[in-house]
Amino acid sequence: MLQKITVIGAGNVGATCAQRAAEKELADVVLVDVVEGLPQGKGLDLCEAAPVEKHDAGILGTNDYAATKDSDIIIVTAGIARKPGMSRDDLIKTNAGIVQTVVKAAAKLSPQAVIIIVSNPLDAMCHVALKASGFPPERVIGMAGVLDSARFRFFISEALDVSVESTHAFVLGGHGDTMVPLPRFSTVAGIPITELLPADKIKALCDRTANGGAEIVGLLKTGSAFYAPASSAVEMAAAILKDKNKVLPCAVYLQGQYGYNDLYIGVPVKLGQGGVKQIIEIKLTPEEKSLLDNSANAVKGLVKTLADLGY
């Protein structure tokens, strides 16, 4: 392959990202983890699937960052995942240290890369990565909105018994219980769902979307979602590597947009070569803006916690 994706963290999300990226022949993949043998074992297993899956992407598992040199994309999934009863925010102390360490190590070997953060609490970890990398904000992006929107799309498709392919959805805000699904921008073949479903049903779908991660944590009991998160991170990587200019909701560093300053939060952006090409501002109703303010305040609280912890 001509391009290289480094995936840091060879756990559930990381290994699935490596699998999805390789099977799409997006790039060669370097899978890094701190646990000896884990990335090597998963990397080799994925290579041995290649003849059957019919792809020629290289997958290298390693504990050594040297192999990540000159990556085009760095996907950060290292850290701990939540268990039942935990919120994403409970992970902040442990994951801030891990994200800082891995981003520093990877960024200096791939100074032109675009970093996609997956580790939770997502928006706060983007702040840590921005500082640790020294990269410009357009090259440090968080994955949350693509996943939250995919969940919303699936629930819409189920409710209306239509193909997931006919659905579009937008979820804004921080990646937490305060996220803001936007029904009037969520459509089936261009028709807003507000025209297709009663208000109480839409509210139930929005609530299920906001609790989508917790629903899966509750079912799995030993970890959190990983298939859809990996698909979402790889969709972002593909948009960047193929310079698609795809409009996707991503956590990005706002400097005045939507009325927020120096804050990572999920909004629609244009993704292509070099990362975020444009932050798209949509006019929100006063009610939507107040929900987004609430979500932004939750992220601001986490940023304050980071500052108190010395990050």
| Region binding ligand NAD by CB under 6 A among candidate stretches 52-60, 165-173, 219-227, 291-299 | 219-227
For ligand NAD, the binding residue among 5, 6, 14, 30 (CB under 6 A) is 14
Residue 175 annotated as catalytic: yes
Shortest Cβ 191–ligand NAD spacing (Å): 28
* Burial profile 76-93: b = 16 or more Cβ within 10 angstroms, e = fewer: bbbbbbbeeeeebbebbe
For ligand NAD, the binding residue among 58, 137, 192, 223 (CB under 6 A) is 223
Do 43 and 59 contact (CB within 8 A), yes or no?
A: yes
Which SS3 state, helix, strand or coil, does residue 285 take?
coil
Do 165 and 218 contact (CB within 8 A), yes or no?
A: no
Closer to ligand NAD by CB, 188 or 217: give it: 217
Q: What distance lies between CA 299 and its chain's CA centroid? A: 16
| Region binding ligand NAD by CB under 6 A among candidate stretches 73-81, 155-163, 199-207, 276-284 | 73-81
Is 96 a binding residue for ligand NAD by CB under 6 A? The answer is no
* Nearest to 249, CA basis, from 141, 139, 125: 141
Which SS3 state, helix, strand or coil, does residue 123 take?
helix
Residue with tokens 């959805």: 169
| Region binding ligand NAD by CB under 6 A among candidate stretches 20-28, 29-37, 177-185, 259-267 | 29-37
Is 13 a binding residue for ligand NAD by CB under 6 A? The answer is yes
Q: Show the tokens assigned to 240.
A: 């960047």
Is 75 a binding residue for ligand NAD by CB under 6 A? The answer is no
Shortest Cβ 260–ligand NAD spacing (Å): 19
Q: What are phi and psi of 86, to 5 degrees?
A: -95, 145
| Region binding ligand NAD by CB under 6 A among candidate stretches 40-48, 53-61, 97-105, 258-266 | 97-105
Shortest Cβ 126–ligand NAD spacing (Å): 10
Q: Is 255 exposed, middle or buried (0-12, 13-18, 19+ CB in 10 A)?
A: exposed
Which SS3 state, helix, strand or coil, does residue 206 take?
helix
Residues that bind ligand NAD (CB under 6 A): 8-14, 32-35, 38, 77-82, 91, 95, 98, 101-102, 118-120, 122, 143-144, 147, 175, 223-226, 229
Q: What residues are labeled active site?
A: 175
